[in-house]
Amino acid sequence: MANELKGILKTGSKAKLIQLAIDSTINLKDDLLSEDEKEVIRSRANREGWDSELERATQKAKDILMIGLEAEKLLYQAMFFLQDLKESVEPTEKALSELGNIYVNDYNEETERYESTTDKPKEELEKDILNEVKRVDSLTPRRAKADGLDGLLETYLRLFRESKNAIYLLVNSKIGSYRLYKDDDVNAVKIVLLLNKNKVTDVIDIVDHLVWSIETLEEYKPEVLSEIERLDTTKKLFIHKDKLKDISKALNEISDLKLSHEDIDREGKKGEDEVFSYLYERVVSDEYLLSGIDKETKEKLKLSLDKLTEYVKYGR
């Protein structure tokens, strides 16, 4: 490494030397260059006339470092509200699934239909529903009760969009052949983006299964839903199908990796490590980071990057 560093300092291109200076400036734990080595870069920059670009690049690299830290913070904040959203929906999903198991029976795989239902006296139906209402109430977090599904979803979407905006600026902060970011910062947000993707998929699966449970009861035992509406006066069981579909759609739109059938077929033939590597890069692609972002914001982000390049290279 020492010999390689000496070689870059001696014969490296302008871009390589600026990159080395940037990496040394923003690496807070381990200074890559000694003061003498930094002076070698500054001296050559002065001789060749790119000293101002060097100074501006290292200055802006510090700003990009803060953008990376902010992006990661926003992602974790978003996932906090996503977890509350999950904990708000999952108890109802389990309750409706349990009521479906009690009242809708004998699934025929050939016809893909249920063949029988269970009839109980109204008093027993009431008891079954109220037991589930009580259980849902005990499992739903206090924060979720206060914010409601709409509030939790809106807050998650806002924070996730803001984090994607910051990550887009981070991973695209490249000036010609050098970058202003640390590879470690980008790798850190890739991991959190994949974690978020897994959590979103989990929530979507829960919401979609709840919708399926509601539709199953609608078709085979609608009196269960009617009795829920009558008994659950405080609305602890969330059975508004259209709203649930809207939640699923919103989460899908902002988290969809935009994989084509060809992508899935190709990557599916590879090993787990290769698939992970593919997804690891996919989550920082422009297509993913800009999905669910309005046109005006996209234009502002691209304009910000153009201005960044103009400033670093030319001081404008």
Q: In which band, very low, low, confident or very high, does the pLDDT at 218 lie, cut at 50, 70 and 90?
A: very high
Is 54 within a domain? Answer: no
Is 99 within a domain? Answer: yes
| Domain shared by 30 and 109, yes or no | no
**How far, in Å, CA of 186 to CA of 68, rounded?**
7
Is 287 within a domain? Answer: yes
**How far, in Å, CA of 180 to CA of 54, rounded?**
11
* 218 touches 99 (CB < 8 A): no
| Domain shared by 106 and 68, yes or no | yes
Residue, of 148 and 229, whose pLDDT is higher: 229
Q: In which band, very low, low, confident or very high, does the pLDDT at 272 lie, cut at 50, 70 and 90?
A: low
Residue, of 261 and 179, whose pLDDT is higher: 179
Domain count, the chain: 2
DSSP for 154-212?
A: HHHHHHHHHHHHHHHHHHT-EETTEESS-HHHHHHHHHHHHHHHHHHHHHHHHHHHHHH
β 174-175/178-179 pair status: antiparallel
Which of 49-63, 106-120, 208-222, 255-269 has the weakest average pLDDT? 255-269
| Domain shared by 33 and 70, yes or no | no
Average pLDDT over residues 269-291: 82
| Domain shared by 131 and 213, yes or no | yes
Average pLDDT over residues 262-285: 74
Q: What is the largest CA-CA distance in the chain?
A: 93
Is 267 within a domain? Answer: yes
Q: Look at residue 14 and tell me whether its pLDDT is greater than 50.
A: yes
Q: Look at residue 203 and tell me whether its pLDDT is greater than 50.
A: yes
Q: Which domain covers residue 196, as residue numbers?
A: 60-314
| Domain shared by 196 and 300, yes or no | yes
**How far, in Å, CA of 125 to CA of 225, rounded?**
11
| Domain shared by 27 and 105, yes or no | no
Q: In which band, very low, low, confident or very high, does the pLDDT at 21 lie, cut at 50, 70 and 90?
A: confident
| Domain shared by 45 and 69, yes or no | no
Domain boundary among 49, 69, 86: 49
| Domain shared by 19 and 141, yes or no | no
Is 70 within a domain? Answer: yes
| Domain shared by 162 and 14, yes or no | no
The three-class DSSP label of residue 31 is coil
Predicted pLDDT of residue 111: 92
Is 55 within a domain? Answer: no
Residue, of 9 and 16, whose pLDDT is higher: 16
Taking only the tens place, the pLDDT of each residue in 170-196 is 999 999 899 999 888 899 999 999 999
* 278 touches 156 (CB < 8 A): no
| Domain shared by 122 and 243, yes or no | yes
Q: In which band, very low, low, confident or very high, does the pLDDT at 3 lie, cut at 50, 70 and 90?
A: low
Rounded to the nearest 10°, the torsion over CA 185, 188, 192, 195 is: 150
